[in-house]
Amino acid sequence: MKIRSKMVFLLTLLVIILLFGGCATRIDVKRLVPATHSMANYRNIALLPVKPYRLPIFETPGALVEDLSGSAPFRVYSGYQSFIEKSLANYSGELLKRELEKSSYFSLVETNFSNVADIVGEKYGTTELEAILDVQVRRLDVEEYVYARKVVNEDATETFVYYLRQKIGLEISYSVLDVQTGKAIYKDSFQNREEYTYALDSKKGPVIYAPDLTPKLRQMSEDLITSIVNSIAPRWVSSSISLMANRPKLPHLEDSYKAVKEGRLNFAYSQFLQEWEFSGHVASGYNGALILEALQRREEAIKLMQKVWQSSGSQKAKKQLDRMYRYREDQGEAESQF
C-alpha cells in the first residue's frame, strides 16, 4: 500500500512539473558564432570536386553478408551498393556547395579545373580568387555480419535468434589553400561512426536483403559537411531561453508575458522595465534584460542584468549575466571574421 501511495504521489508531482514547466514563456536570442578558422582574408574561394575514397578490393563488402554463426537458415544480401564511393563524393560536393552558398559568407568562383596545380596563380574574370577549398572523403568503412544468440524457451528447449549488424564509418577532410602559393592555410577533418542491429526473421527466408546503407552514409555526410562549413564560416545561432516566472505574482504583468508570446517585444520590454524601475520586481528586470538581448541591444541587456543581480543577488540573474558575456565575446569574434 505504501509503495502504491508513493507511486501515485510521484506521478502527480511529475504531472504538476510538466504542466507548470511546460507553460514557461520563452524568448529566442540570436547571436553570431565564430568559425573555428578565420577566413576573413579568403572570402573568394574556388571549390574543387570532392575526391572519393577508393575502397581497396580486400575491404569491399561482398554480395553476401558473412554469417558468423555458421548456422543461419537463410542468406543475407549486403546493404552496400556498388560504386557508392563515387556517388557519395558527388553528393557531398553538391551539399558542400549548397551549404557554402547558404552561409552568404563566401563568393564561390566557378572553375573548370579539378586539380590545385591548375588553379594556383590564376585569376577569373573580375573576381580575384583568394583561396581553394580542397575536400576529400578520406575514409569509408563498411562492416556487416550475421550472428546468433541462444534463447531458452519456456519448455526448456533452445532456439537461436539471428541478428544482422551493420557498422559504418566516414571521414571527410579538407584543406584551405592560398591561391598564390598553393600552401595550406588550414587543414582539418571530421569523422563519425555508427552501427545498427536488426533482428532477422527466418520466416522471411531463404533470402533476406539488408537495409540499404546509402541513406545512412548520406546522412553522415550531411553532418560532416555541416561541420566543415561551420569551421570556416561564422553563422547565426538561436537559443530559446525561459523568462523568469511572475513571482511574486503581479496580475497586470500577465499582458507582458502574453506580448512576448505574440512577438510584441518592445511593448513587453517597456512594461517590464516600468515595473522594475517602480518596484524592483526581480522578474521584471530579468525579463526586460532578456528582451533587450533578443532585440540585439546586448550592451543595454548586460547593464540591466547587472543591476538585477547586484540588487537582488539572484543566482538566475548571475547565470544569465555570465552567458551574456560569453555570447558577446562570441559575437565580437565572429564580427571580426567579416
Cell triple for residue 232?
570556416
Across residues 40-54, what is the average pLDDT?
A: 96
Confidence of residue 8 (pLDDT cuts 50, 70, 90): low
Residue 18 clears pLDDT 80, i.e. is over it: no
Residue 15 clears pLDDT 80, i.e. is over it: no
Q: What is the pLDDT of residues 144-187, one digit of tens each?
A: 999 999 998 888 888 999 999 999 999 999 999 999 989 999 99
pLDDT of residue 13: 59
Between 314 and 112, whose confidence is greater?
Answer: 314
Tell me the pLDDT of the chain averaged across its residues: 91
pLDDT of residue 58: 84
pLDDT of residue 1: 47
State the SS3 of 179-192: CCCCCEEEEEEEEE
Residue 52 clears pLDDT 80, i.e. is over it: yes
Q: Which residue has the cell 583568394?
A: 130
Q: Provide long-range contacts, Cβ within 8 A and 24+ apart, for 97-103.
A: 97/47, 99/225, 99/226, 99/229, 100/45, 100/47, 100/133, 100/229, 100/233, 103/229, 103/233, 103/235
pLDDT of residue 55: 87
Residue 41 clears pLDDT 80, i.e. is over it: yes
Angstrom distance (rounded) from CA 214 to CA 197: 16
Q: How many CB atoms lie within 10 A of CB 301?
A: 24
CA distances from 337 to 9, 42, 127, 245, 333 (A): 55, 10, 20, 38, 7
Q: What is the pLDDT of residues 268-309, one digit of tens each?
A: 999 999 999 999 999 999 999 999 999 999 999 999 999 999
Residue 19 clears pLDDT 50, i.e. is over it: no
pLDDT of residue 334: 98
Residue 126 clears pLDDT 60, i.e. is over it: no
Domains in the chain with CATH codes: 44-236 (3.30.160.180), 238-335 (1.25.40)
Residue 27 clears pLDDT 50, i.e. is over it: yes
What's the DSSP call for residue 336? T
Q: What is the pLDDT of residues 183-214, one digit of tens each?
A: 999 999 999 999 999 999 988 879 999 999 99
pLDDT of residue 122: 58
Q: What is the pLDDT of residues 59-90, one digit of tens each?
A: 889 999 999 999 999 999 999 998 899 999 99
